[in-house]
Amino acid sequence: MESIVVAAGRPHEPGAPLSVPPLLNATFRSAHDGTNAYLRNESSDSVRAFEQAVGALEGGTAIAFASGMAAIAAVVEGLPSGSTVVGPVAAYSGTISLLAEQQRLGRATVRSVDITDTDAVIAALPGADLLWVEALTNPLLGVPDLPALFDAARTAGVLVGVDATFATPVALRALDLGADVVMHSATKFLGGHSDLLMGVLVVRAPDLADSLTARRRLAGAMPGALECFLALRGVRTLAVRMERAQANAIELAVRLAAHPAVTRVRYPGLPSDPGHERASRQQSGFGAVISFEVTGAAGDAERACQRVELITHATSLGGVESIIERRARYDIDAAAGCPPTLLRLSVGIEHVDDLWADLTQALAELPSLTDGDPVRS
Ligand code: PLP
């Protein structure tokens, strides 16, 4: 994987540049043989170079999209009208909203389940068309039992899509485990620098690749060449960025778990985390996002976010820079069960001691746990 991220998607002809340059162009001259290309329909070398690299990383055919949401929409909106989707109760808010919208429009029935509860998911599968899971879940960092869910879905004849944005291809190869579709918001770890918006799907079945490519064309969801160039440039350092970010994340999770203003740390890299055993079995890393709950009320947690200096208070995640956010500030996350004081921390590649110093000062004004408080979980 460390070598694939560096080598995949490069031109090989003698005299070729090492990287496919961003081809900033939408229209191509017609040829006399009738060849007639337009970016939204035909893609371009810049898009294909990114797709080759991600396809090689995941072990399938990659189809790039203008955003992560456009990628998810291609799967969900490509289902026949009247389909049934088994989806997570708690997941990325955009996904929850998209599924709810499909239901509101009468296009799909959504069965919402706790996707970390294997029995509940399996019970919801009969008659369904699509199972959509997140590994890991955003923002609660739940770990679904992927092999068990994929087996059950295959038996029930249900297509399975996995949003692996949090795990990244460094930590998870979901197609190898039996997923039909792997999805990434390339805006996050693949791009890695918070400077582009892109998504990607990876599949193995040729007919699925064809139908999702057709959805991209119909929806006009082709990414721009500059975004593809930047995203592939980000992929080149994915392995080293993840190595550093995950090492930082484990260290910060351990330190946060012992902090007097932290009531709970959700990070599957901690042996005490309910998802640790599953994640250890099916992943080769625990990712670089930590969610933790703090003492006090929502306002206290919000003020802690406003006090960070090295860390950035912002939405999104997956960049070289650490980012923190109280997710329950969004009604949709609060309604999906996100605790009011949960802070989602996307851990970057800064020095861990500098991150810790910043967190410590940001959390300093929160009430400390005392002997009378409930036991940490
Ligand atoms: N999936 C997950 C897990 C996300 O966190 C996000 C964005 O935050 C998305 C999908 C949507 O991706 P994008 O913002 O690229 O549309």
Please write the tens of the pLDDT for every residue from 208-223: 999 999 999 999 999 9
pTM here is 0.96
Q: What is the pLDDT of residue 375?
A: 53
- Residue 36: the pLDDT is 81
CA of 32 to the centre of ligand 1 (A): 42
The pLDDT value given to residue 377: 54
Q: Which helix (H) or strand (E) holds 173?
A: none
pLDDT at 187 (0 to 100): 98
369 CA to centre of ligand 1 in angstroms: 34
Looking at residue 34, what is its pLDDT? 81
Say yes or no: CB of residue 286 within 6 Å of ligand 1.
Answer: no
Active site residue 92: yes
Kindly state the tokens that stand for 291.
């969610």
Q: Are 297 and 165 in contact (CB under 8 A)?
A: no
Q: Is 281 a catalytic residue?
A: no
Q: Is 150 in the pocket of ligand 1 (CB under 6 A)?
A: no
Q: Is the CB of 138 under 6 A from ligand 1?
A: yes
Q: Would you state the torsion angle of the CA atoms of residues 350, 353, 359, 361, taken in this order, to the nearest 10 degrees? A: -130
* pLDDT score recorded for residue 42: 85
DSSP for 163-197, written as a single string: E-TTTHHHH--HHHHT-SEEEEETTTTTT-SS---
188 noted as active-site residue:
yes
> Which one, of 87, 81, 98, lies nearest residue 160 by Cα?
87
In this prediction, residue 65 carries a pLDDT of 98
Best mutation site among 134, 162, 165 for ligand 1 pocket (most ligand atoms within 8 Å of CB): 165
Rounded to the nearest angstrom, the distance between the alpha carbon of 207 and the centre of ligand 1 is 25
Contact 320, 349 (CB under 8 A): yes
Segments of the chain scoring below 50 in pLDDT: none
Cα of 374 from ligand 1 centre, angstroms = 34
Catalytic annotation, pick one of 145, 180, 188, 266: 188
User: Rounded CA gap, 238 and 95, in Å?
Assistant: 25
Q: Which of 38, 40, 104, 195 is catalytic?
A: 40
Tell me the DSSP string of 250-287: HHHHHHHHT-TTEEEEE-TTSTTSTTHHHHHHH-SS--
